[in-house]
A and B are shown apart, each in its own frame.
Chain A
Amino acid sequence: MDTIRLYIKSMRMLMKSQLQYPASFLMQTLAQLVMEGGEMLAVILIVDRFDRLNQWMPGDLYFFFGLMSVTFYLTEVFGRGVTGAFPGMVRSGQLDTLLLRPRGVLTQTLCSAIDPRRFACIAVGTAALALGSRLSRISWTPLKGLLLAESVLFGMLLILGLFMIEAVFCIYSVKSVELVNAITYGGRSACQYPIDIYARPLRVLFTVAAPFALVMHVPAAYILDKPLYGWPAWTAFVCPLAGAGVFAVMYLVFRRAMRHYRSTGS
């Protein structure tokens, strides 16, 4: 409870420091809006060419895009410490400062950065979700609403977990490893489309290793009243837990890695 209070307080303070430079903040937010708007436009253009992709109608595809966008950028706003700031913190030695305080390193990492510019992307994502929901005529029930929230929440844990792979590499080698971006940013780009349009190796990758399919696509199929790849309906509620699994595993790995942390010069 106390940790959550600390997190909220930190976030409020970081927001305040971001707003110290209002012009820069506004410009960057605008840039993000254009960027994510462009992504959305790309999807619209693609969808416009085909009138369906496998079993998926245009509205469904917007829904997938929106779900990924909202989840991914919520993670980037509130988990900026892990998704962006960590390599720099290792290199500059700021990680040492965190170790000097009586709190967990991961907690403090999460408390040390926020990226409110990404709210622009979340707005685009939300618009896509709404558009998809309208076009596909989703009949919303409380259960579906709950499932959407569950999917977003565990999706955030999954994405945090994947970014922690990079963090772990940083602890060992101080350098940041761009290769890991293949499954974080790559995963976002690939999995904003339903998983069944891909070939088998990619399907395995995004189901077993980086289970975006379990966390987002199965619940999305349930919400869109499509068959769940042959699985019973209740699996839609269980599959997202895979995100928590990835996060838990990476948390343990992260803790082990911190024992090998070697700091940088004074």
Chain B
Amino acid sequence: MAFIEAEGLTKTFTVRKKREKGRLLREKTRVKALDSLNFTIEKGELVGYIGPNGAGKSTTVKLLSGILTPDGGTARVNGLVPWEQRRQHVKRIGVVFGQRSQLWWDVPILDSFDLLRDIYQVPEADYRRRLSELTEALRLEEFLRTPLRLLSLGQRMRAELCGSLLHGPELLFLDEPTIGLDAVSKLALRDFLKQENARHGTTVLLTTHDMEDIAALCSRVMVLGHGRKLFDGALPDLLQRYDTRRIITLRYDGDAALPDLPAGCACAEEGEGYRIDYSPDQIPTAKLIALLQGAGNIRELTAQPQNIDHLIAAMYREMDL
């Protein structure tokens, strides 16, 4: 049996609209947040979970963590049905919401951790060991006696992570953990997650809009749209299908004019140079460069793939999300 098994998970929300003029009753619409979703995750996997806003990612996390009850379908996490055996289940999981704090705002974070120990009834020895391990890995020692409200966003996220891992969960849900973090904090956070996964075999389900997070951490991606699973596999496989265009930016000596480009190349002026968006399938890169060279002396030229966000956007467009 897989560690997480979701079968036919369905959740519908009723949205009440504002009453229109001349109508007695408000109109209600039913929105399917999840439409019979199936997947399995093995123990120790690091899975990225992406999809546009409103695709049902958070709903999935809320169902699997026992906050919500589905309208249909079943799920088992480590043999337990989250919404039926909530208390037993949540002892074994940790959840971090990027935009919602779980620690207490006005007290030193060490006091928060202390209270969490009591809430989860973690044995004292385990707690000590875990706390020192986490404070070291997350470099929290110097803030332990600082109230949460005085910490920067990056420090706060580290504290949140520590809080959600104190009871040694086997499964960690991360809902946009890197939102708003600077580059250094982001990298540190990714390193930490990798390390935690390697050392304790913690299974991680990571929801994010930051494709770099996924690329750095996850061996597997699931794409969700309109409550359905659209893709499940390795990130390179997903990107390959959409990675069909390249971009060349170039600048000539003096003011040479661009030669006529073959169809399928989009060209735009950019500063003193040009930016050409083309498809290597239609015109090989070497041929295009040769063509460009014929028109004048090239001072600067860079060729690069589209950035990952563009690929995802192209994918969402194609899947009609």
A141 in the interface (beta carbon within 8 A): no
What are 27 A-B residue pairs whose CB atoms fall within 8 Å in the complex? A9-B118, A10-B115, A13-B104, A13-B115, A14-B104, A17-B104, A17-B105, A20-B106, A92-B100, A96-B97, A96-B100, A99-B86, A99-B90, A100-B66, A100-B67, A100-B90, A100-B93, A101-B119, A102-B90, A103-B119, A108-B119, A259-B69, A263-B62, A263-B67, A265-B58, A266-B58, A266-B100
B162 in the interface (beta carbon within 8 A): no
- What are the residues of chain A within 8 A of B111 when measuring CB–CB? 13, 16
Residue of B68, B87, B100, B104 touching A103 (CB-CB under 8 A): B87
- What are the residues of chain B within 8 A of A5 when measuring CB–CB? 118
Number of B residues with CB within 8 Å of any CB on chain A: 33
Are the CB atoms of A263 and B100 closer together than 8 Å?
no
Task: From known contacts A13-B115, A263-B68, A266-B175, infer whether A96 and B120 are also in contact, taking CB-CB under 8 Å.
Answer: no
Nearest first, the 9 A-B pairs at minimum CB distance are A17-B106, A266-B58, A102-B91, A102-B87, A99-B67, A97-B102, A20-B106, A17-B107, A102-B90
Number of A residues with CB within 8 Å of any CB on chain B: 28
Are the CB atoms of A96 and B69 closer together than 8 Å?
no
- What are the residues of chain B within 8 A of A10 when measuring CB–CB? 115
- What are the residues of chain A within 8 A of B115 when measuring CB–CB? 6, 9-10, 13
Q: How far is the CA of A261 from the CA of B86 in the complex (A)?
A: 14
Task: Write the nearest CB–CB distance from B71 to chain A, whole angstroms.
Answer: 11
Tell me the dominant secondary structure on chain B's binding face. Answer: mixed
B146 in the interface (beta carbon within 8 A): no
Are the CB atoms of B121 and A2 closer together than 8 Å?
yes
Residues of A with Cβ closer than 8 Å to B?
A: 2, 5-6, 9-10, 13-14, 16-18, 20, 92-94, 96-97, 99-103, 108, 259, 261-263, 265-266
B13 in the interface (beta carbon within 8 A): yes
Bitwise interface map of B from 193 to 234 toward A, beta carbon under 8 Å scored 1, else 0: 000000000000000000000000000000000000000000
Task: From known contacts A5-B118, A102-B119, A266-B58, infer whether A261 and B90 are also in contact, taking CB-CB under 8 Å.
Answer: no
Q: How far is the CA of A14 from the CA of B67 in the complex (A)?
A: 25
Task: Write the nearest CB–CB distance from A40 to chain B, whole angstroms.
Answer: 32
Q: Could you tell me which residues of chain B, from 1 to 41, have a CB within 8 Å of some CB in chain A?
A: 13
Q: How far is the CA of A160 from the CA of B68 in the complex (A)?
A: 26
Number of A-B residue pairs having CB atoms within 8 Å of each other in the complex: 75
Task: Write the nearest CB–CB distance from B144 to chain A, whole angstroms.
Answer: 15
- What are the residues of chain B within 8 A of A261 when measuring CB–CB? 67-68
Task: Write the nearest CB–CB distance from A195 to chain B, whole angstroms.
Answer: 40
- What are the residues of chain A within 8 A of B65 when measuring CB–CB? 99-100
Q: Could you tell me which residues of chain B, from 163 to 213, have a CB within 8 Å of some CB in chain A?
A: 175-176
Q: How far is the CA of A12 from the CA of B297 in the complex (A)?
A: 75
Q: How far is the CA of A9 from the CA of B90 in the complex (A)?
A: 22
Q: How far is the CA of A259 from the CA of B151 in the complex (A)?
A: 36
B280 in the interface (beta carbon within 8 A): no
B47 in the interface (beta carbon within 8 A): no
- What are the residues of chain A within 8 A of B97 when measuring CB–CB? 96-97, 266
Q: How far is the CA of A16 from the CA of B66 in the complex (A)?
A: 32
B244 in the interface (beta carbon within 8 A): no
Q: How far is the CA of A18 from the CA of B105 in the complex (A)?
A: 11
- What are the residues of chain B within 8 A of A14 when measuring CB–CB? 104
